[in-house]
Amino acid sequence: MSQGVLFYQVVIIAMILIAALFGRTALNRTALSLVLFTFMNVWMQWLMILQFVTIFVAFYIGRAISPERKSASSSS
């Protein structure tokens, strides 16, 4: 795996985590956009799998840090 592929995955993680700081809606839209981008532009199966795993993991980390999640758990 090349350094370019790894760097691209780090950029995807950063995009999702930054979107999570703006709330759940931004997180969902960013993750959906990246999934659609992957379907339209990635043609190598191993790279597509890697990218979906990256999006999935970053999305669940983003859900944990999104402001709506923190405010909902602190008000209960």
Q: Is the pLDDT of residue 75 over 70?
A: no
Is residue 16 within 8 A of residue 62, CB to CB? The reply is: yes
pLDDT for 19 equals 97
36: left (phi over 0), alpha (psi -120 to 50) or beta: alpha
Q: What is the mean pLDDT of residues 69-75?
A: 54
Q: What pTM value is reported for the model?
A: 0.85
CA–CA dist 47, 52 (Å, integer) = 9
How far is the CA of 75 from the CAs of 8, 37, 41, 70, 72, in angstroms?
37, 36, 42, 9, 5
**What are the tens digits of pLDDT across the range 19-68?**
999 999 999 999 999 999 999 999 999 999 999 999 999 999 999 999 87
